[in-house]
A = this chain, B = another copy of it.
């Protein structure tokens, strides 16, 4: 059902292992999101729903972490080594997005 991930040779950004890790996590997150909907339809206690949403947020942080590490090890590393001055603006924007 899933589209074939690009092969190692053709992938430019996210390394295959990181991509696999992220996809497994996202599949689990899809299930968790459906679980939240189910809790709401079943009229579960609000605090339980809020806790479950917090779990999904934490799981998404896990995906961010995987992608971020790969981003640092690949893209940021390449940019730094080739003295691309724009990488710092990009990185700062990513890091301080929410503040």
Contacts and interface: CB of A to CB of B under 8 A. Distances in A.
Number of chain copies forming the complex: 4
Interface of A: 2-6, 10-14, 19, 22-23, 26-27, 29-30, 33-34, 36-38, 40-47, 49-51, 53-54, 56-58, 60-61, 63-65, 67-77, 80-81, 88, 90-92, 94-99
Given A64-B53, A65-B92, A88-B72, A19 B40 contact: yes
Contact of A57 (B12, B57, B76, B95): B57
A43 B80 contact: no
B47 A90 contact: yes
Shortest Cβ-Cβ A-B pairs, 10 listed: A46-B71, A80-B80, A26-B37, A61-B99, A11-B43, A53-B64, A3-B41, A6-B43, A49-B67, A30-B33
